[in-house]
C-alpha cells in the first residue's frame, strides 16, 4: 500500500510529542488557547518565544477534526481497510501539518486558517489516492481533477459540509444530554434563530424566564464543548450554530 513520503523529522517530532514543553511554558499555552487562529499563525512567524507553542496549539485544535475528516474521505471512497486506516490517516494529517509548518509564509490572513489547512489536507489525500491507484495499476473511480488542491489559502473551499455535519452530531449529543424537556425545547428553538420573544410565545412562558433558561443552557453547552470537544470553541464552525439542521425529539 502506498503511503505519502515522510516529511522533516523535526516537524513530525513536534506534532507527535506536543507536550514535551517545560513547566514555564504552561502559562503561554493557557494564553494561546484563547488566541485566534490568525494570531497563532502570526506568532508562529514573528514571535520566537511563542512560535513552537503556537504550532502545537494549532495542531491540538485540528488533529481530531482532521482525523475524522480524512476517515470520512477514506470511507466515502473506500480506499482503505480497517487495519490500514489508522496508519494512513495519521500519515496524511502529520504530513499536512509538516506542510503547514513549512509553508506558514504562504498563508493569506484574508482567508480562514481552516480553509488553508483543509486545502493542504485534501492535497495529501489526493496524493495518497493517486499513489494507491498507481500502485494497484488501475483507476478506482476517483475523480482527481475534482479535488485538485494547492497550498494557497485562497483556492477552493474545504469540505465545509463535513464540518457542519460533525458539529450537528456534537450539538445533538449535547441536546440529548440535557435533563429537562424545557431546556431541550428552548435550546432547539434558539438553534432555529428565533428571538427570545418568539420562543417565549411558543413555549408559553415569559421572555425573562426563557432568556434565563437559554443563558444557562448556552453556558452548559460551552462547558460541554470545553470538556469534550475543545477544538470547536476556537472554530469558525461555532458561529454556524444557528444555521444547523437539527432534528431531535424533546420528549
Q: Classify residue 156 as left (phi > 0), alpha (psi -120 to 50) or beta.
A: beta
77 confidence band (pLDDT: 50, 70, 90): low
Per the prediction, the chain carries an average pLDDT of 78
Distances (CA, A) of 124 to 88, 94, 111, 121: 11, 10, 20, 5
- Residue among 93, 86, 165 nearest 122 (CA): 93
List the domains of the chain with CATH numbers: 9-158 (no CATH), 161-243 (1.10.10)
Q: What is the pLDDT of residue 178?
A: 94
Query: What sign does the CA torsion over 165, 166, 171, 177 have?
Result: positive
What tens digit of pLDDT does each residue of 158-199 get?
A: 556 677 778 888 889 999 999 999 999 999 898 888 899 999
Percent of the chain with pLDDT over 90: 33
Q: What is the pLDDT of residue 149?
A: 44
Q: Which long-range contacts (CB under 8 A, 24 or more apart) does 20-24 make?
A: 21/53, 21/56
Name the pTM for this structure.
Answer: 0.62
Sequential DSSP letters for 79-133: ---HHHHHHHHHHHHHHHHHHHHHTGGG--TTS-HHHHHHHHHHHHHHHHHHHHH
Amino acid at each position: 500500500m502506498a503511503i505519502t513520503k515522510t516529511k522533516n523529522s523535526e516537524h513530525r517530532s513536534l506534532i507527535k510529542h506536543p507536550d514535551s514543553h517545560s513547566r514555564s511554558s504552561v502559562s503561554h499555552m493557557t494564553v494561546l488557547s484563547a488566541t485566534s487562529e490568525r494570531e497563532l499563525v502570526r506568532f508562529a512567524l514573528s514571535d520566537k518565544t511563542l512560535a513552537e507553542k503556537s504550532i502545537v496549539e494549532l495542531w491540538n485544535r485540528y488533529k481530531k477534526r482532521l482525523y475524522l475528516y480524512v476517515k470520512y474521505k477514506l470511507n466515502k471512497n473506500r480506499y482503505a481497510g480497517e487495519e490500514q486506516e489508522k496508519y494512513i490517516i495519521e500519515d496524511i494529517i502529520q504530513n499536512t501539518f509538516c506542510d503547514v509548518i513549512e509553508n506558514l509564509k504562504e498563508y493569506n490572513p484574508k482567508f480562514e486558517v481552516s480553509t488553508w489547512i483543509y486545502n493542504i489536507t485534501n492535497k495529501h489525500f489526493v496524493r495518497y489516492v493517486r499513489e494507491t491507484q498507481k500502485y494497484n495499476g488501475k483507476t478506482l473511480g476517483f475523480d482527481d481533477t475534482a479535488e485538485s488542491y494547492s497550498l494557497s489559502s485562497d483556492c477552493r473551499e474545504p469540505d465545509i459540509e463535513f464540518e457542519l455535519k460533525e458539529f450537528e452530531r456534537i450539538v445533538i449529543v449535547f441536546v440529548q444530554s440535557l435533563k429537562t424537556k424545557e431546556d431541550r425545547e428552548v435550546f432547539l428553538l434558539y438553534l432555529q434563530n428565533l428571538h427570545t420573544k418568539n420562543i417565549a410565545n411558543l413555549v408559553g412562558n415569559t421572555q425573562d424566564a426563557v432568556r434565563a433558561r437559554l443563558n444557562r443552557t448556552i453556558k452548559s453547552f460551552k462547558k460541554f464543548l470545553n470538556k469534550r470537544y475543545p477544538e470547536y470553541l476556537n472554530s469558525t464552525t461555532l458561529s454556524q450554530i444557528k444555521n444547523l439542521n437539527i432534528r431531535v425529539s424533546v420528549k
